[in-house]
Structure 1
Amino acid sequence: MFLPYDLLALVAAACWAIGSILAVAPARHLGPFAFNRWRLLIVATALWLFCLVDGGWRTLSPGLMSAMALSGLIGIFIGDTALFAAMNRLGPRRTGVLFASHALFTPLLSFVWLGETMNSQAMFGALLTVAGVMAAVLLGRRAEENHEWEMDQGDVRVGIALGLIAALCQALGTLLAKPVMTPDVDPVAASAVRITAAGAMHFLLLFGGVRVAMAHHPLTFQVFRQTATNGLLAMGVGMTLVLLALKYGNVGMVAVLSSVSPVLVLPLLWWRLGRSPAPGAWFGAALTVLGTALILLR
């Protein structure tokens, strides 16, 4: 049956899938640093307002804030910036398969760091899920596909390296958050701390005159709307759900279940591009569904 954290991780994956589609245009318009800076500012403002009204800020402690700030610097400031830089070069589909490798990094690191283990059925399900995600994304492109999202934008090797850095940072950021996410901690407040720390670093780079932090093009209302929608859905809702899942769940299982977002992207790309994914994508999606079922029914 569904356990609460299982469902939360899957809903977070859906938020990230929709967010990745919404991110392509504004991330390429603004550049990865400016795009991340704007969405962090928007989401941090919204979360802190919610915490002030809800009273969730009272659950914060110096130890929790330190851990969450470090988690945000690694997982969001470094990880998300690398992710969108990779997406600008490789597009959402190929970036998705690289980022999905965080579902391999996280269980391995959680075993070494936290001593967490999986039973044999859950482990087999996790391997099937990750294999399915990667197969769906790698085999999801038709030979005749020529949409700009599938075209290389710069050095592919740099894009691959950035995608793997993003996955590793996602895993490390999750592991840093897990030990302090006790049942009495408000996940919205914890998420606000993570996002604020990452946003502060982005603004330090901007005010320090770092060239790479500058926007590629001026912010327009349409780009602001796309950035805000992406941030509130993918980061405001998605990341908060992941932190809530970590309060009750195994960090490796949360990582595996939330990694199915690239498979959920496939029907969105079908809708966006007007063409169904290649047959190999459906094979990968079937493996993902089977693996997820084994995890949920363990």
Structure 2
Amino acid sequence: MAYFGEIAALLTAVFWTVTSMAFESAGKKVGSLAVNLIRLVIAFFIYAVYTQVTRGMWFPFDASAESWMWLMLSGLVGFVIGDLLLFQAFVIIGARISMLIMAMTPPFTAFISYFMLGEVLSPMNWLGMAVTLAGISMVILKRENKSLQGEEAIRRRLTSAYSLPGILLALGGALGQAAGLVLSKKGMGDYNAFAASQIRVLTGIVGFAVLIFVLKRYGRVWGALKNTSAMKRITLGSFFGPFLGVSFSLLSIQHTKAGISATIMSIVPVLIIPPAILIFKEKVNWKEIAGAAVTVLGVAIFFL
């Protein structure tokens, strides 16, 4: 099927839009660490049921040792380390600047895949990437509606927004996501994408479980399990994120270049705009609308 990889990447972005809203809501109720662990555990069992039905095997017993090695490394780098760095960047420099820096994931992916996989993007691919990232930047860098009090408040705001440690943490998050994609492609080969995702998810479970044990946050996990409202959102997010989203991202990189996949999948901040208007009744300015149009144009270039 022509453009199967690109279409899979678009669907991935749609799935991640749903899961980001579900996890944001759940995270505010029970904390992000608890959400991260529970979502992966739920996703693991969804994978087990799905692969048992489709492959007659609830666990990836048929994966080679080499596939296990690369996919586990991918899960550790992408799911655990990358997410941890990004969440800390949110604390230091805020979500908006962090998300802008995360838009560096596609070029990072293209760069890493060139050295690890020998993938070379065409001039048209680079143009599509540049236009897409420009559109995403226009959306993310909208002005805050809240006015700051006095010059000192503005100075503090600007200082924290461009903190070097915060910028480096966000860059680390982008690198983690990019490296995770490329490592997945290297370890997966022609292997089943859903089974490969299950290996990554299993690694993420172990990583977050160790982290929660070390930080002694297990009480929050138990509290989250008893929160019915949060669990509904985590379950919804687990189906669309770690299950459908991650699997389709691997299907995408199986059928097209990793840099192209990463660019198309990075349009999530733009896709969130319609539900933000319709569901949360948020007001959207002209800059966000223009950014969305530019992003769609950039994605369209990949299909030319």
TM-score (norm 2): 0.85
CA RMSD of aligned residues (A): 2.6
Instruction: Check whether the contact 2:69–2:187 (CA below 8 A) recurs between aligned residues.
Output: no
Please state how far the C-alpha of 1:46 moved relative to its aligned partner.
Answer: 1.2
Is 2:210 the partner of 1:204? yes
Q: Could you tell me how far 1:288 is from its partner in structure 2?
A: 0.9
Structure-2 separation of matches of 1:244 and 1:59 = 18
Partner deviation per Cα, 1:34-60 (whole Å, 9 max, x = no partner): 210111111111112222232263541
Report whether the alignment pairs 1:117 with 2:123: no
Is the contact between residue 33 and residue 212 of structure 2 (CA under 8 Å) also seen in structure 1?
no
Mapped pair 1:75 → 2:81? no
Aligned length: 287
The offset of 1:15, in angstroms, is 1.0
Structure 2 CA distance for partners of 1:241 and 1:216, relative to 1, 3 Å = closer
Q: Secondary structure at the match of 2:250?
A: helix
Return the match for 1:103 from 78, 103, 106: 106
Q: Are 2:278 and 1:271 equivalent residues in the alignment?
A: yes
Give the unaligned 5+ runs of structure 1.
Answer: 147-151
Shift of 1:221: 0.8
Instruction: State the AA in 2 paired with 1:204.
Output: V
Partner of 2:151: none
Change (3 A) 1:47 1:216: closer
**8 A Cα contact 1:32 1:85, kept in partner:** no
Structure 2 counterpart of 1:195, which letter? V
1:33/1:214 contact within 8 Å kept: no
Q: Which residue of 2 aligns with 1:190?
A: 196
Q: What is the identity percentage for the equivalent residue pairs of Structure 1 and Structure 2?
A: 27
Letter in 1 for 2:253: L
TM alignment of 1:1-298, pairs within 5 A: 3-55=3-55, 57=60, 59-87=62-90, 95-139=98-142, 141=143, 143-144=145-146, 157=163, 160-183=167-190, 185-207=191-213, 209-211=214-216, 215=220, 218-219=223-224, 220-297=227-304
State the shift of 1:91 in Å.
6.8
For residues 247 and 52 of structure 1, do their structure 2 counterparts lie closer, same or farther at Cα, with a shift above 3 Å needed? same
The structural deviation recorded for 1:274 is: 1.3
**Pair 1:14–1:246, CA change in 2 (3 A):** same
Say which is worse superposed, 174-183 or 82-91, in terms of deviation.
Answer: 82-91
CA contact (8 A) 2:40 2:202 kept: yes
Residues of 1 paired with 2:280 and 2:112: CA distance?
37
Shift of 1:218: 2.1
Report the 3-state secondary structure (helix = DSSP H, G, I; strand = E; otherwise coil) of the residue aligned with 1:60: coil
> Which stretch shows the higher mean deviation, 194-203 or 4-13?
194-203
AA matched with 2:22: L
Offset, 1:134: 1.4
Question: Which of these two proteins has the greater Rg computed from alpha carbons?
Answer: 2
8 Å CA contact retained: 1:110, 1:252: yes
Question: What amino acid sits opposite 1:105 in the alignment?
Answer: F
Closer/same/farther in 2, CA of residues 2 and 76 from structure 1, 3 Å limit? same
